[in-house]
Amino acid sequence: MISRLSVPVSIGVMTRTTRGHSRLIRALAFTGALVAASFAVAGPAQATYGDPVTVTFTPAANEVEYGGYWDFSIQLKNTMCSLDYCTNALEVTATGSNGYTKKVKTDVYTRENAYISQSSFGNLAAGTYTFTAVYTDNEAGGYGTIPVTMSPSNKPGKLVVKPAKLSVDFRIETDEHQPAAAVVSAQLNGPYVQSVEGCYGSSDCHPDVSAGDWSFTIKDDSGATVQEKTIAVKGEDTQFASFYWHDVPYATDYTATASFTPVADQRGNYDIEQATALTFTSPEPPVVDESDPAVVVPVTEENDAPSSVPLWLVILGLALTAALLVASAIVLILLRRRSVTADPDDGADLDETAELATESDNA
């Protein structure tokens, strides 16, 4: 009896023992999973100062048009700048596919990050650029200069500068004040030009559009060139060019083109969509209404201007005046001569009067 009972008892003990171990194993496994998950969430442990310094540019690649704004955030690890602000502790070098190279120093902040932008390097020409950085401990936190080892895992930044897209707006418009003349004008449009106009002299603004030449050609309906002009402009005047077209024949069809060419060393920075050829028809001549003289006679004088007198009428008036003066002079001369010549009857009367006076005195 005892032997029979001992088997199930031992079996029961073994079963309870096995269940206890399995629970312990599951608990340990669950704990391990929690620990692993916590490490996965927390990430790798923070490296300690003295390990190789790492530098990472964000974003890894940047792409802008010529003149467009760009910047990079730079994250560092294992620097003394995690404890204090570091002045000029990071030297950033830009190297271009076109042979360009420039170095700029910048600060590293207490959380081991730095910042670099277009304002530090200026307006980079179209091309591809690689940005790298070297950290130098510049008395960070007052600990003095300490040799720094750069990690080979440093991640540079890439910048692609594409040519700025521009277009030409070309127009020919009849002068509303003078139908026999026209105004020919062209200007550049595009984000680059708009950003230039919005700079207002700020030191962070890129330069004006490149200097260059505007070219205009106008042909009549027979294909003959009637106007051909080249206007050289400086950078600050590049966006716009125009000229006045005098003596445009009436009722004629014209074909015109306009284009802008930057100076040689700037041509790669612009992708210019030149203006398509346009047609211009000069207005019809003014209609003259012969039945209405008021319409026919053009007004060439101002309202308050004195009336004009024909020259022949002036000459005739002078001649008549001179003739009148001569006639008056002749009349005066004749009258004077007549008054000087004495009358005989008048002399006899005078003698008789004198004799009577003498006789009276003698008496």
pLDDT at 237: 66
Q: Are 247 and 227 in contact (CB under 8 A)?
A: no
Q: Are 113 and 121 in contact (CB under 8 A)?
A: no
Architecture, CATH, for domain 164-281:
Sandwich (2.60)
Sign of the CA dihedral 114, 118, 124, 128?
Answer: positive
Amino acid identity of residue 292, one-letter, is: D
Tokens at residue 314, please?
């002036």
pLDDT at 37: 43
Tokens at residue 245, please?
């077209």
Q: What distance in Å separates the CA atoms of residue 148 and residue 322, rounded to the nearest whole number?
A: 115
The CA distances from residue 71 to 25, 74, 99, 119, in Å, are 54, 10, 21, 9
pLDDT at 50: 66
Listed in sequence order, the DSSP H helices in 57-190 are 118-121
Where the chain has pLDDT below 50, the residues are 1-20, 30-31, 33-47, 140-142, 201, 203, 296-302, 304-305, 307, 350, 354, 356, 363
Domain ranges of the chain: 54-162, 164-281
Is 221 strand, coil or helix?
Answer: coil
pLDDT at 58: 95
- Put the strands of the sheet holding 54-58 in their side by side order: 54-58, 71-77, 113-117
Listed in sequence order, the DSSP H helices in the chain are 2-42, 118-121, 191-197, 293-296, 311-340, 344-362
pLDDT at 305: 46
Q: Are 198 and 67 in contact (CB under 8 A)?
A: no
Q: What distance in Å separates the CA atoms of residue 356 and residue 297, rounded to the nearest whole number?
A: 86
Is 227 strand, coil or helix?
Answer: strand
pLDDT at 312: 67
The CA distances from residue 196 to 68, 210, 268, 287, in Å, are 10, 11, 18, 47
Give me the CATH topology for the region 54-162: Immunoglobulin-like (2.60.40)
CB-based contacts of 69, cutoff 8 Å, min separation 6: 117, 118
